[in-house]
Chain A
């Protein structure tokens, strides 16, 4: 067992500064209105730094800086853009431990996860898009022997990116890596709950970035996010968050006729077919772990497998084992490398989860384990901890239909394949899903019939850069990750060229 010292404490691998301004045009710039807001850690509830409270004036300044850098960055050869991404990846890798501890402290997630997943994935995403942009080809279409259509990829220009708080650095990377690779310049607003860790990251990479290519404006949604989304000089806005804000962003984008990428959450079904329990082997153990994945990142994942559907013939046995497995989750100090579930990211998140546990109980769902806040004592008593919770109930209940964004899974049973698909698709969302079966045919059929953008099959919560991620139904518009993401950040330029010498004969 190892426990990292909190940032800034003696022996810590990282220290936060006491204040962060906006990062605009390659420099730190004080906010136009001179205001700052405090940033508490959810680990203890104590404030550890403060950040510039951005407003429309700051956004405008950042967009100007991004605009100034756009032409030159867009013309930079792809090999050089790729080299920058690779250098960013190298710097993150060299400082992995410091960045991982900083993020765990700000978000409340276990450092075990940031060390093994969040930050290594961020590194790999930068490297992936460094490779993808160099491998990308335009197109040449022969319309007739003397007429050729050339298709070129061109950057959009300045893009606005609004980042969520659940994976502050990985979600920033998902948006930044393809946008920068494609030759865009960026104005990025981190979530107001987790605005500081990206500045730790910046402290390691700022010297690599041409001024204005990446600008970070901190602040609240209504004060900084909204003027960014409404800015008439941005060419695209990418947002991860929830449905109402997603609609509002589309509304603003319609005013400027620009595209949006929206990733708006889910209520992902995790389906366990009976043959999973045919033998008590390694695969059964893997499926049990798959059930327990609802607790990853404290359940604060848009694709949290928050509905578990278990076939009735194995229901009692499988669920009994699963509840036991949930009991082995280690809740504790996020900077302890043994901890597997840490703190919820904020007090309002903590309160919201408790309000959902309350309505779940009122609706008659049965608590199989958890169902309360967790009292961890000591310095953690000011933090926001919830017990991993397993509910048993019916898919019509609100806890089966709404994203709780906490370590809460709602379990129900199904009789046969058709029943499973019906329940799985009875949701407003379609972001993720899990299918577990020893039969390739069953898994394939189910995967194709589930209305969701990502169906993990005999696995869950893997996020490789090379696999497209995004939602059906109310889970959003567009995709993230995969080479195809480059095109989400590019214009198509078509040159339609005639090599013929003769007039067309129309006039």
Chain B
């Protein structure tokens, strides 16, 4: 299990967890910021923790715990974008691919990707 049992908005596939373990070995603690907009946007960007300055315009969606990585991985999104996303559950997955802004995984020939589903009423009540 890579995830704590409590309800949360964001999770990882096992493939994504495996990739993160490799990236953490190379780069140390990690973070995600979900991007909007064109080209490589509408996709999660992975950076060394602290590389991307989050601020009052961002929302912390969750903290991912991955076996083999001591530090949790924070997942952020801009607050304005979150308003349109709050009813959905996100799973960070990996697909073969190429470009990704400055995201760390691109040179590996893969790309993080968000898969979404609607939150259930019960989850929505718990997450607010």
Interface residues of A in 252-289 (CB under 8 A from B): 264-266
Give bound CA distance, A346 to B110, whole Å: 11
A-B CB contacts (within 8 Å), total count: 162
Chain B residues bordering chain A, tally (CB within 8 A): 41
Residues from chain B with a CB closer than 8 A to the CB of A37 are: 107
Closest chain-B Cβ to A205's Cβ sits at a distance in Å of 25
Contact (Cβ within 8 A) A244 B33: yes
Interface residues of B in 68-122 (CB under 8 A from A): 78, 80-81, 84-85, 88, 95-104, 106-107, 111, 113-118
Residues from chain A with a CB closer than 8 A to the CB of B40 are: 241-242, 245
Closest chain-B Cβ to A193's Cβ sits at a distance in Å of 5
Interface residues of A in 217-238 (CB under 8 A from B): 220-223, 225-226
Contact (Cβ within 8 A) A266 B95: no
Contact (Cβ within 8 A) A355 B98: no
Contact (Cβ within 8 A) B42 A220: no
Residue of B nearest to A242 (CB): B41
Residues from chain A with a CB closer than 8 A to the CB of B38 are: 164, 166, 240-242, 264-266, 302, 403, 405
Contact (Cβ within 8 A) B41 A265: yes
Give bound CA distance, A429 to B114, whole Å: 21
Interface residues of A in 376-416 (CB under 8 A from B): 396, 398, 401-405
Residues from chain B with a CB closer than 8 A to the CB of A164 are: 38-39
With contacts A243-B36, A405-B41 known, what are 6 further pairs, Cβ within 8 A?
Answer: A225-B101, A242-B43, A347-B96, A359-B117, A398-B84, A428-B36
15 residue pairs from A and B, CB less than 8 Å apart: A192-B106, A220-B106, A222-B103, A222-B107, A226-B102, A241-B37, A243-B35, A244-B35, A248-B52, A265-B36, A355-B116, A358-B115, A398-B116, A402-B42, A428-B84
Interface string of A455-477 (1 = CB under 8 A from B): 00000000000000000001100
Question: A242 touches which one: B35, B53, B84, B111 (CB < 8 A)?
Answer: B35
Closest chain-B Cβ to A320's Cβ sits at a distance in Å of 29
A142 at the interface (CB under 8 A from B): no
Contact (Cβ within 8 A) A245 B95: no
Residues from chain B with a CB closer than 8 A to the CB of A355 are: 113-116
Contact (Cβ within 8 A) B84 A401: yes
Residues from chain B with a CB closer than 8 A to the CB of A247 are: 52-53
Residues from chain B with a CB closer than 8 A to the CB of A166 are: 38-39
A351 at the interface (CB under 8 A from B): yes
Contact (Cβ within 8 A) A351 B95: yes
Given contacts A221-B106, A248-B52, A363-B118, contact A193 B99 (CB under 8 A): yes
Residue of B nearest to A428 (CB): B80
Give bound CA distance, A456 to B107, whole Å: 39
Interface string of B16-59 (1 = CB under 8 A from A): 00000000000000000111111111110101000111000000
Residues from chain B with a CB closer than 8 A to the CB of A264 are: 37-38, 41
Contact (Cβ within 8 A) B101 A221: yes
A75 at the interface (CB under 8 A from B): no
Contact (Cβ within 8 A) A474 B36: yes
Question: B88 touches which one: A192, A221, A251, A359 (CB < 8 A)?
Answer: A359
Contact (Cβ within 8 A) B102 A225: yes
Chain A residues bordering chain B, tally (CB within 8 A): 51
A59 at the interface (CB under 8 A from B): no
Question: B111 touches which one: A348, A358, A404 (CB < 8 A)?
Answer: A348
A246 at the interface (CB under 8 A from B): yes
Contact (Cβ within 8 A) B45 A245: yes
A356 at the interface (CB under 8 A from B): yes
Residues from chain B with a CB closer than 8 A to the CB of A226 are: 102
Residue of B nearest to A396 (CB): B84
Give bound CA distance, A223 to B99, whole Å: 12
A22 at the interface (CB under 8 A from B): no
Contact (Cβ within 8 A) A351 B118: no
Interface string of A419-463 (1 = CB under 8 A from B): 000000000110000000000000000000000000000000000
Question: A398 touches which one: B33, B88, B96, B103 (CB < 8 A)?
Answer: B88
Residues from chain B with a CB closer than 8 A to the CB of A358 are: 115-116
Residues from chain A with a CB closer than 8 A to the CB of B33 are: 244
Interface residues of A in 471-488 (CB under 8 A from B): 474-475
Residue of B nearest to A252 (CB): B102
Residue of A nearest to B81 (CB): A428
Residues from chain A with a CB closer than 8 A to the CB of B47 are: 248
Contact (Cβ within 8 A) B107 A223: yes
Question: A243 touches which one: B41, B84, B96 (CB < 8 A)?
Answer: B41
Interface residues of A in 127-162 (CB under 8 A from B): none
Contact (Cβ within 8 A) A165 B39: yes
Give bound CA distance, A501 to B99, whole Å: 63
Question: A245 touches which one: B88, B102, B115 (CB < 8 A)?
Answer: B102
Interface residues of A in 175-194 (CB under 8 A from B): 191-193
Residues from chain A with a CB closer than 8 A to the CB of B115 are: 355, 358
Residue of B nearest to A301 (CB): B38
Give bound CA distance, A404 to B40, whole Å: 10
Interface string of A182-214 (1 = CB under 8 A from B): 000000000111000000000000000000000
Give bound CA distance, A244 to B102, whole Å: 9
Residues from chain B with a CB closer than 8 A to the CB of A474 are: 36-37, 78, 80
Question: A403 touches which one: B41, B51, B117 (CB < 8 A)?
Answer: B41
Contact (Cβ within 8 A) B113 A351: yes
Residues from chain A with a CB closer than 8 A to the CB of B81 are: 401-402, 428
Contact (Cβ within 8 A) A348 B36: no
Contact (Cβ within 8 A) B85 A398: yes
Residues from chain A with a CB closer than 8 A to the CB of B106 are: 192, 220-222
Closest chain-B Cβ to A166's Cβ sits at a distance in Å of 7
